[in-house]
Amino acid sequence: MTDHANRGYRRMFDDDFSVGLFFPITTADGPIPPLGEQTELAAYAERLGFDALWFRDVPLFWPKFDDAGQVYDPWVFLSHIAANTEDVALATGSIVLPLRHPLHVAKAAASVDRLSDGRLVLGVASGDRPPEYAAFGVDEDRTDELFRESVRTLRTVWAEEYPEIDTPFGSLDGSMDLLPKPTTETLPLLVTGHAGQSPEWIGERGDGWVYYQRTAEGVAEQVEDWRAVAGEKPYVQVLHVALAEDPTAGPERIHQGYATGTDWLVEHVRDLRDAGVDHVMVNVRQTDPDRDVRAVLDQFADEVLAEL
């Protein structure tokens, strides 16, 4: 366990395996989700035993990408959900660092961490929607460098009082300090994808790695490579699931996951766990749009979580 293991990080990784849930929590179809009931569904998911709630960072909707995330600004929504839950980890999947000034990220993240009593786990990424870079005046060719410098700045201003640091974003000369500081020396950072960095860089400077859906066999090979550069730092996988009411249904491939019943899904998630995955974040996808999402969450809890 990393030295900066706050309450959220411990909730996700103290045990051998955990499962989280992506916002938006919905069975509706389409790129722009319904916004009602998300707060109530978050509290409901916590009661069912999900270990983490995951928040997207999608500043601008690009129809070609066909995904608006949870629509709400992640920092505002994090604070709102933190006030309406008690113990579940709050994780970002993921804050796009090159699009944001790291001092703003540092202050917002430390604020959410304090207000949630140490439940924030910060997933970070370099971005994957090219038009966003132009919209924010960011040189796409520099995103790798900006990501590295953002991480360095975050670590510095969280851990040090009145730091001195020069970065492409600006300089601190030791006369000013960032407040509040997080509940631990520095917030845990989970790097998503490669973010333009080498596995060695991620293994050394990150507190875990988030990667996209792969077969259990592919995951086992990737986890082995990850352990070689990162030791026992966690490996997290994204899994999109269109859960059929019939437990014997499926599986059929969908983007980043499967449409399936729970019989196969239990075995698949168990295989991921046995391959070395520490946490699976589940994105509930459209199955029957007339089916209440609470029924899907109940089924997942009763037939999947209970078995794991």
Q: What is the pTM of this model?
A: 0.94
Residue-level pLDDT at 25: 87
Q: Report the first-to-last Cα separation within the chain, whole angstroms.
A: 22
Over residues 245-295, the pLDDT tens digits come to 999 998 998 877 899 999 999 999 999 999 999 999 999 887 677 788 999
Over residues 49-106, the pLDDT tens digits come to 999 999 999 999 888 887 877 889 999 999 999 999 999 999 999 999 999 999 999 9
Over residues 138-147, the pLDDT tens digits come to 999 999 999 9
Q: For the residues 116-128, what does the mean pLDDT come to? A: 96
CATH for the stretch 7-307: 3.20.20.30
Strands (E), the chain: 18-22, 52-55, 89-96, 120-125, 164-167, 170-173, 189-192, 209-211, 235-243, 252-254, 257-260, 279-284
Residue-level pLDDT at 109: 98
Of residues 69 and 192, which shows the higher confidence score? 192
Domain residue extents for the chain: 7-307
